[in-house]
């Protein structure tokens, strides 16, 4: 399945700003007050949730579109009566992908805005700064926009936190196994973000490629001078680079390799492999020297775990397009907005499962009990249980050609540690309900 967005940074900024202003306006106009004895963030006819995202800064391209996808789907649900009669209000704060900012805006969301739950807070280094605070305050910390292991591998330590997307370790395992099987003679270099994003990916890769790795280079997010890292990878003789990077660093690695006349095979994590976005960043970073940056990603390998904008006939994409047409702001539907809608769909299921009078502890218990059976656009099932708060369990590998991903494998699922990698088609028949809203779970 092929899933690549078409977007521009300018449209992203304008639309996201508009969506957030609209959300704030809705909050200002509401006059309802909490019922006596009710849960924080919940009234008789509303539920307030929050999220932190990089609306500005180095990680803003692409990621700043995610909350507008959430907002569009919540508006769609609200227009159809909400959940148990409550409308969902989504309060978004900009942290610019800076952990210090994340701490500040999370304090505002929890203590000032009094949200019921944090939903989809984005980023490994950023969310790491607030995960303990959220758990200490017993605020449900749902469906973090990051594949770090820490969101789900130790529920006893972080009982209120849940991942959503495949974690970076299983992505690394699936990539490593594919390379070992299909490229056994490759000299592998690793280009890694120097945090749990890169470390978890490396952990999975090394289970299969320990003997093939010839060089490892890391970068600090925010430091855009990665020329020394690219030069070291080239000097090592690495002819296959595995990158666990955000889109800006995918673009930087491609631009520097071009300048160095370095032409390895590239295999990027799903996080940083969007051709349209990376192409636009290449054009900007090169000050126009690179005209068609998306073409530089032809032949790049990557992973996918939800359907996207290049499969418009997919049932889920038809729903997301309908939602965007009815409730979205300016601009077109992109994969980042699809990602946000997909997470929002999961949150609505969690809220339904928590019952007519949800509590913070109750929604956590509901996800642990029923979350493994939540439906949605994911190509593989969730792993939610009392023992695991890990998200989607698998993905498939694709090769980018002409800006879209051509399938190389069936859907492959696994878990952290030494769990085997297996083929899985259990989600192949999933399609959304006709009304676009998850079915209420059966009583009892």
Phi and psi, residue 335, nearest 5°: -65, -30
Q: Domain residue spans in the chain? A: 9-165+309-392, 168-304
pLDDT along the chain (444 residues), means of 10: 33 34 36 57 97 94 96 98 97 97 98 98 96 98 97 97 98 98 98 95 98 97 93 98 94 94 96 86 85 79 92 94 95 94 98 97 98 95 97 96 90 97 84 92 56
In this structure, is the dihedral angle defined by the CA atoms of residues 63, 334, 147 and 144, taken in order, positive or negative? positive
Give the gyration radius of the chain's Cα atoms. Answer: 21
Matching fold, domains 9-165+309-392 and 168-304: yes
Per DSSP, 356 falls in state S
Q: Is 371 helix (H, G, I), strand (E, B) or coil?
A: helix
Which stretches does DSSP call E strand in 147-255? Answer: 188-193, 213-219, 240-244
Residue where the block lists tokens 């949800």: 358
Q: What does DSSP assign to residue 56?
A: S
Spell out the residues 6+ positions from residue 283 whose beta carbon is closer than 8 angstroms to its own.
290, 291, 293
Tokens 């789900």 belong to 152
For the four alpha carbons of 266, 267, 269 and 271, in that order, the dihedral sign comes to: positive
CA 2 to chain centre: 17
- In the prediction, which pLDDT does 428 show? 66
84: Cβ contacts below 8 Å, ≥ 6 apart: 351, 352, 355, 356, 358
Residue-wise pLDDT tens digits, 41-62: 999 999 999 999 999 998 898 9
Residue given tokens 């969301």 in the structure block:
109
The span from the CA of 77 to the CA of 224, in Å, is: 40
Read off the tokens for 298. 């032809």
Cβ atoms < 10 Å from Cβ of 375? 17
Residue 288 pLDDT: 79
Residues 6 or more apart in contact with residue 400 via CB below 8 angstroms: 4, 273, 275, 297, 298, 299, 300, 301, 302, 406
Q: How far apart are CA 240 and CA 338, in angstroms?
A: 30
Measured CA to CA, the distance from residue 276 to residue 271 in angstroms comes to 13
**Beta strand spans in 342-382 (E):** none
**How far apart are alpha carbons 243 and 193 in whole angstroms?**
8
Matching CATH number, 168-304, of 3.30.750.24, 3.40.50.1980, 3.90.230.10, 3.40.50.2300? 3.40.50.2300
Whole-number Å distance between alpha carbons of 182 and 186: 9
Q: Of the candidates 375, 356, 373, 353, which has an alpha carbon nearest to the alpha carbon of residue 364? A: 353
What pLDDT shows up at residue 276? 80
Q: How far, in Å, CA of 85 to CA of 413, rounded?
A: 37
Strands 46-53 and 117-119: parallel
How far apart are the C-alpha atoms of 159 and 91, rounded to whole Å?
A: 23
Angle 66-79/335-353 helices, nearest 10 degrees? 50
Phi, psi of 414 (to 5 degrees): -165, -170
pLDDT, residue 442, reads 59
320-354 per-position pLDDT tens digit: 999 999 999 889 999 999 999 999 999 999 999 99
* Distance set, CA 283 to CA 75, 276, 292 (Å): 35, 11, 7
Domain 9-165+309-392 -> CATH class: alpha beta
H helix intervals, 129-209:
131-136, 168-182, 196-209
Rounded to whole angstroms, how far apart are CA atoms 52 and 97? Answer: 9
Cα separation of 247 and 254, whole Å?
11
Instruction: Give the angle 419-421-423 at the CA atoms, nearest 5°.
Output: 140
**Which pTM does this prediction carry?**
0.88
- What is the pLDDT, as a whole number, of residue 294? 66
Task: Give dist(CA 63, CA 61) in Å, integer.
Answer: 6
What contacts 327, CB < 8 A, 6 or more positions away?
A: 71, 72, 73, 75, 76, 79
């Amino acid at each position: 399945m092929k899933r690549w967005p078409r977007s521009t940074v300018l449209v992203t900024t304008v639309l996201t700003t508009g969506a957030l202003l609209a959300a704030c306006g809705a909050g200002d106009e509401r006059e309802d007050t909490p019922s006596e004895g009710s849960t924080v963030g919940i009234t008789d006819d509303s539920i307030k949730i929050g999220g932190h995202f990089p609306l500005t800064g180095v990680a803003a391209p692409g990621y700043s579109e995610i909350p507008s996808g959430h907002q569009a789907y919540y508006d769609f649900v609200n227009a159809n009566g909400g959940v148990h009669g409550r409308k969902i209000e989504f309060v978004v704060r900009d942290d610019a992908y800076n952990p210090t900012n994340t701490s500040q805006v999370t304090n505002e969301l929890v203590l000032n805005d009094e949200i019921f739950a944090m939903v989809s807070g984005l980023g490994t280094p950023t969310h790491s700064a607030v995960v303990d605070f959220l758990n200490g305050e017993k605020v449900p910390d749902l469906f973090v926009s990051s594949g770090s292991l820490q969101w789900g591998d130790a529920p006893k330590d972080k009982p209120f936190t849940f991942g959503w997307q495949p974690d970076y370790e299983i992505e690394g395992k699936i990539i490593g196994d594919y390379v070992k099987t299909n490229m056994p003679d490759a000299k592998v270099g690793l280009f890694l973000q120097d945090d749990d994003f890169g470390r978890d990916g490396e952990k999975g890769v090394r289970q299969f490629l320990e003997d093939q790795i010839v060089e490892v280079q890391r970068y600090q997010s925010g430091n855009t001078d990665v020329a020394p890292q690219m030069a070291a990878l080239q000097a090592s003789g690495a002819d296959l680079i595995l990158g666990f990077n955000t889109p800006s660093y995918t673009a930087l690695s491609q631009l520097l390799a071009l300048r160095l006349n370095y032409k390895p095979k590239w295999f990027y994590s799903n996080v940083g492999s969007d051709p349209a976005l990376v192409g636009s960043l290449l054009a900007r970073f090169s000050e126009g020297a690179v005209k068609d940056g998306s073409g530089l990603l032809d032949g790049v390998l990557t992973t996918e775990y939800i359907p996207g904008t290049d499969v418009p006939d997919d049932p889920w994409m038809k729903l997301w397009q309908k939602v965007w047409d009815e409730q979205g702001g300016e601009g077109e539907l992109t994969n980042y907005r699809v990602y946000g809608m997909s997470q929002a769909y999961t949150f609505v299921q969690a809220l339904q499962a928590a019952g007519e009078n949800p509590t913070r502890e109750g929604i956590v218990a509901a996800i642990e009990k029923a979350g493994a059976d939540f439906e949605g656009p994911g190509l593989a099932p969730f792993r939610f249980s009392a023992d695991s708060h890990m998200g989607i369990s698998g993905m498939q590998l694709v090769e980018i050609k002409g800006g879209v991903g051509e399938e190389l494998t069936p859907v492959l699922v696994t878990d952290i540690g030494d769990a085997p990698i297996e083929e899985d088609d259990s989600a192949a028949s999933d399609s959304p309900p006709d009304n676009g809203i998850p079915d209420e779970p059966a009583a009892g």
